[in-house]
Amino acid sequence: MHSVNEEPSREIVVSLEGVYKKFGHTEVLRGVDMAVAKGQVVAIIGQSGSGKSTALRCIDLLETIDAGSITVCGHEVHKPGVDLRALRQDIGIVFQSYNLFPHLTIEENVMLAPRAVKKLAKADARELAHRVLNQVGLVEKAGQYPDQLSGGQQQRVAIARSLAMEPKVMLFDEVTSALDPKLTGEVLRVIEDLAKKGMTMIMVTHEMNFARRIADTIIFMNEGKVWEKGEAGILNNPHTPELREFMQNEL
């Protein structure tokens, strides 16, 4: 994978400029700037409360911002008239909790959005579901229900469900934090495979070795700001005392 710095011509698909966000009197984001190019993998790291997940939620308009601008695949997310339906077709987001419907089979969970949003015929939606389930190594589980699957398998289904909308950008918010090491490995392999295929991704993660291996850019957030960013090497040679301390606590 290339560093975005080497290819200035790459199209910027996610851009945050001067983003501020408050919850009550608490400033959670304090002037966040971020630019993600097409095909780039960005890992956002930092302590709890540093604003990582809030930044991700603002990109998908699950939270509205107080100031600044966010543009995703040409959608001006900060503007009141943004077409939410069109935005959500371009962005896939996967959370720590799988949010699968327990009364639907795996196949039906994955088919739901393409049928409802993209108005795909049932046969086409089923074919699409099988294709993305195959991508995450679970096509043989298509007829089972979520409670018949392990946590790692359910998280992979959640990824497949997002992929079924054929998004241009994937957001991952601490997707492995509820899983044990073996199941974490299963899910990370799927994400790594997506990276190799050129998917643009922004991941909030505490898996430092994984971030080192697959991210083009590491963003360290602290006190609601982008405190330090660069290639994976910054994890070994931090420029700021805050990142140095964070990495020492991670060891």
pLDDT band at 1 (very low <50, low <70, confident <90, very high): very low
Detail the DSSP E strand segments found in the chain.
12-23, 26-37, 41-45, 67-72, 75-76, 91-94, 169-173, 200-204, 217-222, 225-230
**Whole-angstrom Cα distance, residue 172 to residue 163?**
12
Q: What is the DSSP string of 112-126?
A: HHHHHTS---HHHHH
Dist. CA 43–CA 204, nearest whole Å:
6
Over 60: is that where the pLDDT of 10 sits?
yes
User: Looking at residues 201-220, what average pLDDT do you find?
Assistant: 93
Give pLDDT tens digits for 21-75. 999 999 999 999 999 999 999 999 999 999 999 999 999 999 999 999 999 999 9
Model confidence at 117, in pLDDT bands (50, 70, 90)? confident
Measured CA to CA, the distance from residue 125 to residue 114 in angstroms comes to 6
What band does 125 get if pLDDT is binned at 50, 70 and 90? very high
Across residues 125-142, what is the average pLDDT? 94
* Residue 97 scores a pLDDT above 90: no
Q: Is the pLDDT of residue 86 over 50?
A: yes
Q: How many helices (H) and strands (E) does the chain have?
A: 8, 10
| Per-residue pLDDT, 181 | 85
Cβ contact 145:75 at 8 Å: no
The amino acid present at 15, given as its one-letter code, is S
Q: State the pLDDT at residue 9.
A: 63
Query: Percent of the chain, pLDDT > 70?
Result: 96
**Model confidence band, residue 4 (pLDDT cutoffs 50, 70, 90):** very low
pLDDT attached to residue 3: 43
d(CA 54, CA 84): 18
> The domain 4-250 belongs to what CATH superfamily?
P-loop containing nucleotide triphosphate hydrolases (3.40.50.300)
Whole-number Å distance between alpha carbons of 29 and 225: 6
CA 242 to each of CA 46, 50, 53, 208, 239: distance values in angstroms, whole numbers, following the listed order:
10, 12, 19, 16, 9
pLDDT, one tens digit per residue, over 150-194 is 999 999 999 999 999 999 999 999 988 878 888 888 889 999 999
Mean pLDDT of the chain: 91
Q: Kindly list the domain boundaries of the chain, sorted by start residue.
A: 4-250
What pLDDT does 251 receive? 62
